[in-house]
Structure 1
Amino acid sequence: MTREQAPARHLVETVIAPPVIAAVAAHAAARVPGVVRLEPGLRGLAGSLTRIARQRIKGLEPAPTEGVRAFVEHDPPDVRVEIDLSLSGLDQAAATAQAVQRAVGKAVTEATGLTPSAVSVSILDIEIRGGLL
């Protein structure tokens, strides 16, 4: 949430909803090399289906947020992001998770002006291809 002083001394308040932050984070995380996909899990899937249904009723095309949860506190302003994902077995998991944290933090800050206090990454699966095991 940001507050600005308008020209006529009116206070203008901008509220950025958690689904917006989650969509920005999902897009940024999915673009990191080594990320195979975002994993919604049961909790994320239920919340995502509810949000998608509401937006479709309103005629909106929902941005994908599966596997990402954003939490916003307004006083004081604080943003936290949780991401569940699957990684490629070809990359080091810890390095990829750190790259996701950096990419998501940067993307959320650039898109909203809010810097996340935490970006938590949970690796739910690592895909091994080509018979490496």
Structure 2
Amino acid sequence: MTGQEREPEWEVEPPVLAAIAARAASRVSGVRRLQGGIVGLTGAAIRAVRQRIADVEPAPTEGVRTSVDGATGSVDLEIDLTISDFDQAAAVARAVQRAVRRTVTDATGIAPRNVSVNVLDADPRTAA
């Protein structure tokens, strides 16, 4: 040993960030479900096929898109969701931003540069 041991370097792939963000967002009070669009569904389907071929259970990432800036390493997350119509959209969106930012940072050491939340729908069913 030289006395100058290097810290191990970790690389967190975008699907892992998306799965962590999806789990955090779905646990916020007022979030009914995450919503995947056409692009999200296509990406999720391809990822699920690759993971099933590798015999790995895919983590849910529907409704979350990640963007990593290769030059700076900064991460942007975009989350599409449906809320309970009994909740205020802005308050739920802010709570999702805080929960996702905190959870991703705690789990990976990567603090997202941006967490954007798109409230696509309000579900009129009573809360469970």
TM-score under structure 2 length normalisation: 0.91
Asked if residue 15 in structure 1 is aligned to residue 11 in structure 2, the reply is yes
Q: 1:92 to 1:11 in 2, by over 3 A?
A: closer
Q: Select which of 65, 70, 84 maps to 1:69.
A: 65
Structure 2: state its 5+ residue gaps.
Answer: none
* Alignment correspondent of 1:44: 40
Structure number with higher strand proportion: 1
3-state DSSP of counterpart to 1:60: coil
Deviation at 1:11, TM superposition (A): 7.1
Length, aligned pairs only: 125
Task: Return the alpha-carbon distance in structure 2 between the equivalents of residues 63 and 70 of structure 1.
Answer: 15
Q: Deviations over 1:67-98 (max 9, x none)?
A: 00111224322011000000000111100000
Q: Secondary structure at the match of 2:69?
A: strand
Where does structure 1 lack aligned partners over 5 or more consecutive residues? 1-5
Number of the residue aligned with 1:119: 115
Structure 1 stretches of 4+ with a deviation exceeding 2 A read 6-13
Superposed counterparts of 1:50-89, under 5 Å:
50-89=46-85
Pair 8,54 (structure 1): closer, same or farther in 2 beyond 3 Å:
farther
Taking a change above 3 Å as real, the CA distance of residues 93 and 60 of structure 1, as seen in their structure-2 partners, is: same
Residues 42-64 of structure 1 deviation map (CA, whole Å, 9 limit, x = unaligned): 11000000001001100100100
The percentage of aligned residue pairs carrying the same residue is 52
| TM-score using structure 1 length | 0.87
Of 20, 25, 32, the match for 2:28 = 32
Could you say if the C-alpha distance between residues 7 and 17 of structure 1 is closer, same or farther in structure 2, counting changes exceeding 3 Å?
farther
Aligned-residue offset at 1:9? 5.1
